[in-house]
Amino acid sequence: MIEVEHLSKNYGATRAVQDISFRVEKGEVIGFLGPNGAGKSTTMRMLTCYISPDAGTARIAGFDITARPLEVKKRIGYLPENNPLYLDMGVIDYLKFIAALRGIPGGRVRERIRHVVDICGLSSMAAKDVGELSKGYRQRLGLAQALIHDPDVLILDEPTIGLDPHQIIEIRHLIKNIGREKTIILSSHILPEVAATCDRVLILNRGSIVGSGTPEELSALSSGGQAIVAVIRGPRDRVEAALSAIEAVVEVRHLGEDAGLQRFELLSLEADAVCERIFFAVAAGGWSLTELRRKSINLEDVFLDLTMREAS
C-alpha cells in the first residue's frame, strides 16, 4: 500500500530526513516514534504531497507522490498536528464543506457524513458549533474530516497531543477500530501511545530510521529482549564484578542501594541460564539474594537504547 524508497529532505543545511526506506502493507497500523525534530512530521508531509522530497520517492496505492500527487491525495486522509478546523462553523456544516472540497458527489454527502459521525462518536455533538467542542471531540472531528472521502490510507500526526488521559484512551480505541479497515501511519513521541496502538514501529532519530519492527522484535534488536532484576546484599563493586563475569550477560546496570541492598538490572541473551548462574555467583560470594525476577524490556527501554546509541 505504501512504498518509500530513499526519501530525503533538507531545510538549508539541516538534514530533516536522510535516505529512509520502508513499506506499509494494507491494513497495518504503523507508528513513527521519535523525539521532537526526528523527522516524523517532515516524512508525513512528503507522503501527503504537502512538500516535495529532495531525493527519493514514495508510492501510495501504486501512485508516485512526485509524478501523480493528485491521485495520491485522493487516497489519503490526513490529520496534521494542527487540526484544520473552523471554530465558527457547525459540525455538520464543516463536514459538508470538507465533502465539497473532496469532490464527493452530492447524492453521497449525507451518507458519508452519517457514517463518519457514527464511527467517530460525534452524534451527540452534531448540532453544536466546532468552537463549542472539547479538545477530544475536536480530534474526533479531525478524524472524521480525514475519513469522509473513504481513503485507503490515514496519516495522523500526533493525534492525541494535548488530550487528557481519558480522551487519549478514547482516541486510541477509535484509531484501532478504524485500523481494521484502513492502512494507518501515525506519529508520536509518546511511547505508550505507539506501543498500545500500532502493529509495527519505526523509530526515527536525526532524520534516519534507527529501528523497525514490532515492539518484541525491537527489543531483540536492541539488547536481546530479556532483562533480569537482582537485589543482593553485599558490597557493590564486588557484586557488580561477579555479575558482569557471568556468561551470557550483556550488560549490568546498578539501579541503586537501599539499606545495604544493591539493586541491579542485567541484560542477557539467555535469561533462564543466567538466573541460575546469578544464584550460584551470590552463594559463592557469601552474599544474600533477596529478589530475582525477569523484567520485560518495554518500548521505552528500546527507544532510549537505540536513540542514545545513534547519538553516540
Condensed to tens digits (0 to 9), the pLDDT of residues 127-136 reads 999 999 999 9
Indicate the domain borders of the chain: 2-213, 226-296
Average pLDDT over residues 243-250: 87
Residue 24 main-chain phi, psi, to 5 deg:
-130, 125
Pairing of the two strands 2-11 and 183-188: unpaired
**What are the b/e assignments for 131-159, b being 16+ CB within 10 Å?**
eebeebbbbbbbbbbbbbbebbbbbbbbb
Percentage with pLDDT > 70 across the chain: 90
Question: Looking at residue 93, what is its pLDDT?
Answer: 97
pTM higher than the cut 0.85: no
Using DSSP's 3-state secondary structure scheme, residue 309 falls into: helix
Condensed to tens digits (0 to 9), the pLDDT of residues 170-189 reads 888 888 888 888 899 998 87
- 49, three cell numbers: 504531497
Question: Looking at residue 213, what is its pLDDT?
Answer: 80
Question: Looking at residue 58, what is its pLDDT?
Answer: 96
Name which of 34, 82, 9, 2 is nearest 299 in CA terms. Answer: 34
* pLDDT at position 299 over 70: no
What is d(CA 257, CA 231) in angstroms, rounded to the nearest whole number? 9
* pLDDT at position 297 over 70: no
> Is residue 238 left, alpha or beta, with left meaning phi > 0 and alpha meaning psi from -120 to 50?
alpha
* pLDDT at position 72 over 90: yes
- Sign, CA torsion 94/98/101/105: negative
Average pLDDT over residues 23-31: 90
Distance from first CA to last CA of the chain, Å, rounded? Answer: 35
Condensed to tens digits (0 to 9), the pLDDT of residues 119-168 reads 999 999 999 999 999 999 999 999 999 999 999 999 998 888 877 888 88
| Bridge partners (DSSP) listed for residue 187 | 32, 157
Amino acid (1-letter code) at residue 152: D
* pLDDT at position 98 over 50: yes
Helix (H) or strand (E) holding 211: strand 208-213
* pLDDT at position 224 over 50: no
Question: Looking at residue 304, what is its pLDDT?
Answer: 64
Span 226-296: which CATH code?
A: 3.30.70.250
Confidence of residue 271 (pLDDT cuts 50, 70, 90): confident
What is d(CA 63, CA 70) in angstroms, rounded to the nearest whole number? 9
What homologous superfamily is domain 2-213 in, according to CATH? P-loop containing nucleotide triphosphate hydrolases (3.40.50.300)
Q: In the block, which residue shows the cell 462553523?
A: 89
